[in-house]
Amino acid sequence: MSIKMDIVGLLSQYEHGKFSNILLNDYFKEKELELPGLTRGEKGFITEVFYGVIRNVIFLDYSIDKRVKTIDKLWVRNLLRLSMYQIHFMDSDDAGAVYEGVEVAKVRGGTFIGSFVNGVLRSFIREKDEDIEKLLEDEEYATLLSYPKWFVDEIKWEHKENYLEILKSYKKIPNISVKINKLNYNEEDFLALLEMKNINIIKHVEEVYYIDSGAILDTYEFKRGQITVQDASSYLAAKYLDPQPGERILDTCSAPGGKAIAMAEMMKNDGEIVALDIHKHKLKLIESRTKQMGIDIVYPELLDARQVEEEFGKESFDRVLVDAPCSGFGVIRKKPEVLYTKKMKNVQSLAKLQSEILSAAGKVVKVGGILVYSTCTILNKENIENITKFLEKNKNFEVQKVEISPGVSGSFDKLGGLNIFDEFLDGFYMVKMKKIGE
């Protein structure tokens, strides 16, 4: 019961503007100082329910508001949300979920609140299947799948044939994905470690493994940088740049540094990678991560990526990666609150910024060099529309064909840009271009 009270508290703090990942990480750190501490099972339950409520909050609030006129206390709403999430989305005992919810309500608010919670939850159990059937009949997918209506309309417009499949996919619980550091570790030892820890591989893409347990994060190998967390989409953006040993590379929007690290490994720690960011504290993160992994060719620098020509001069890099700041709608499995904090006006502002960064980056690529543009979003305005404008203004660049890695679901747009839509990988867009003249 105390765990559910903690989740209610976490959800209330989230409602007041705290970032979900920071909130949960801080909570787990605090619990590590207590005895006996949380078990891995308890951590998993808390994580699933906390993120599950955020991920499905529109449907949960619809289910509450259908049964209640007003709720004055936020903690009561959050208790109903997490109890309904358990009942509908988890393989839980309905009666047990109701009982625990009522007990928490009694402890926190007294018998009256307990009776109120009991009535709402039992009504939900009786009527939820009928509610869902009606939402499907009316095609109220925004409510049913918990998306802002504008976002559903946009995805439907851009992907008429499979928009529902895309929307459903991004509501799945994500699996942890890790990559081994081949500078000081090898696949054979990694696989032996997984077997010893009884961790199973769910999907394998290139050097990235999707696994069924977060226990890998507690290992000595992870703590010393032999294993790092990275999504395959992020890795592929670096791979398509194809950095070679001895080359000079620019990573325009580098933090937290995962792609720079992957590129340094591909280069066998030989060459130079200039890693830019506009936040000093994020540069320190890149420095600490590269040091942990034994990499010494990454040079973090505080700079707005739109100023690269003034800082470095024309045609000063062999290859440039523009992993542009974006709306993040491709990573909503991991950061579900993005859906509720970003609107189309934010997308338009970001698209303008992305275009400016891309334009500046193109100027510092050497003739014959490579420019890769990538985002972790699935909206055309930030992807193909930006590339269309760039190619119209920069006739000295041409799109290079890339191959989709085995096991990855994706499709190419008319320009040759790759859209990754996969049930495991983050949603990503990437396009590879070569500079063919001055």
Split at pLDDT 50, 70, 90, the class of 262 is very high
**Listed range (26-35, 68-77, 148-157, 401-410) with the worst mean pLDDT:** 26-35
- What is the rounded CA–CA span in Å between residue 427 and residue 38? 32
Q: Express each pLDDT in 63-91 by its tens digit.
A: 999 999 999 999 999 999 999 999 999 99
Query: With 90 as the cut, is the pLDDT of residue 186 above it?
Result: yes
How would you label 76-100 residue by residue, b for 16+ Cβ within 10 Å and e otherwise? bbbbbbbbbbbbbbeeeeeeebbeb
One-letter identity of residue 37: G
143: closest CA among 56, 78, 48, 15?
Answer: 56
Six-digit token string for 79: 């208790």
Query: With 90 as the cut, is the pLDDT of residue 222 above it?
Result: yes
Q: Express each pLDDT in 371-381 by its tens digit.
A: 999 999 999 99
Q: What is the per-residue pLDDT for 438?
A: 82
Split at pLDDT 50, 70, 90, the class of 33 is confident
Split at pLDDT 50, 70, 90, the class of 204 is very high
State the average pLDDT over residues 8-37.
91
The question of whether 253 is a catalytic residue gets the answer no
Domains delineated in the chain: 2-146 (1.10.940.10), 176-229 (3.30.70.1170), 234-435 (3.40.50.150)
**382: alpha, beta or left? (left if phi > 0; alpha if psi -120 to 50):** alpha
- What is the rounded CA–CA span in Å between residue 136 and residue 66? 16
Q: Express each pLDDT in 348-404 by its tens digit.
A: 999 999 999 999 999 999 999 999 999 999 999 999 999 999 999 999 999 999 999
Query: With 90 as the cut, is the pLDDT of residue 324 above it?
Result: yes
List strand residue ranges (DSSP E) for 138-262, in order: 176-180, 201-205, 208-211, 227-229, 248-251
Q: What is the per-residue pLDDT for 188?
A: 96
242: closest CA among 181, 318, 322, 301?
Answer: 318
Provide the 10 A C-beta neighbour count for residue 29: 9
**High-pLDDT (> 90) share of the chain, %:** 93
| Average pLDDT in the chain | 96
Q: What share of the chain is helix, strand, coil (3-state, %, to 5)?
A: 50, 15, 30
50 burial via Cβ count (<10 Å: 0-12, 13-18, 19+): buried
**236: alpha, beta or left? (left if phi > 0; alpha if psi -120 to 50):** alpha
> What is residue 180's DSSP assignment?
E
Q: What residue has token string 């190998």?
A: 221
Q: What is the per-residue pLDDT for 391?
A: 98
372: closest CA among 315, 418, 405?
Answer: 418
**High-pLDDT (> 70) share of the chain, %:** 100
State the average pLDDT over residues 155-180.
95
**Using an 8 Å Cβ cutoff, are 232 and 420 in contact?**
no
Split at pLDDT 50, 70, 90, the class of 1 is low
From the candidates 238, 376, 384, 418, give the one annotated as an active-site residue.
Answer: 376
